[in-house]
A and B are shown apart, each in its own frame.
Chain A
Amino acid sequence: MSQPPAVEPPTRAVEAGSPWWHAAHRLARYTWLTLLFRAPTAALGGHTAPAAPVATLARQ
């Protein structure tokens, strides 16, 4: 029996807790660049809106 193809794990860059995401979050939070970072970090899976997972938990 052949082995199923290995699933590529997510790269560090797109993990919410990666150093890159934290650096982008800090740069956006502390500077005028918030708007420029909001859409790209959301596309990469960053937590730009912490209210969303909280609301999800509240419904469960």
Chain B
Amino acid sequence: MSSSTSPEPRVTRRSLPTRMLRAARLDGRLYAEVRADSAGTAQAVAVVALVGVAHGLGTIVRALLAGWAPGAAVLVAVLAEVAFWAVLSSAVYLVGRHVLGATVAYGQVLRPLGFASAPGLFILGASVASGVGAEAPALAALALWRLAAYFVDVRHALGLGMARSIAALVVGVAATLMILVALTGALWRVLEPE
């Protein structure tokens, strides 16, 4: 048996729910498997789409429970999920390949990163928790879960050590947050011009 950061593992076709469950359980072999499965991009897109829909529904639930109008917030939630995937994968790829020296193609970062967003489906549970005053801890737990999945994903996608993987993830998340803030501001100027 090869180590966790060894070259391409044997690709086996798996159903989407099985792969999503393994991704949510932070199964490193799943991320290595998806990295090598060039035909798995459609599944990664499906995961992000499902999480985006869950995110939109979760925002509606939180809005109704908190008494504010969902409106454009749903659009922000759905688009943020897709943009987070696209921007974070680009940032991790650029930092990993051109700064940290990883030998990786963009698709090999993009696919596993889509699966790493699988814990985001639990945004619906976290949203319902807001009805009993537990929104902050529920969202905090979800954020930590997602960050843990991203770390396992980046480690296997880039094939680097722990310190370099953390560096790529921190730089990638920071750059992604700045770009998402700018995109949200631009979207809001379109939705609600002064």
Interface on A for B, CB 8 Å cutoff?
19-20, 22-24, 26-27, 29-37
User: Inside 8 A of B123's CB, which chain A residues have their CB?
Assistant: 32
B56 → chain A closest CB, angstroms: 10
Q: Assess whether A34 is in contact with B76, with CB atoms less than 8 Å apart.
A: no
Tell me whether A31 and B80 are in contact in the complex, defined as CB-CB below 8 angstroms, given that A20-B181, A26-B184 are known contacts.
Answer: yes
Tell me whether A33 and B188 are in contact in the complex, defined as CB-CB below 8 angstroms, given that A23-B182, A24-B181, A27-B180 are known contacts.
Answer: no
Tell me whether A27 and B143 are in contact in the complex, defined as CB-CB below 8 angstroms, given that A22-B185, A34-B136 are known contacts.
Answer: no
Decide if B19 is an interface residue (CB 8 Å cutoff): no
Chain A interface secondary structure, helix, strand, loop or mixed?
helix
User: Inside 8 A of B81's CB, which chain A residues have their CB?
Assistant: 31
User: Inside 8 A of B140's CB, which chain A residues have their CB?
Assistant: 34-35
Decide if B116 is an interface residue (CB 8 Å cutoff): no
Q: Assess whether A34 is in contact with B143, with CB atoms less than 8 Å apart.
A: yes
Decide if B126 is an interface residue (CB 8 Å cutoff): yes
Tell me whether A26 and B73 are in contact in the complex, defined as CB-CB below 8 angstroms, given that A31-B55, A32-B143, A34-B143 are known contacts.
Answer: yes
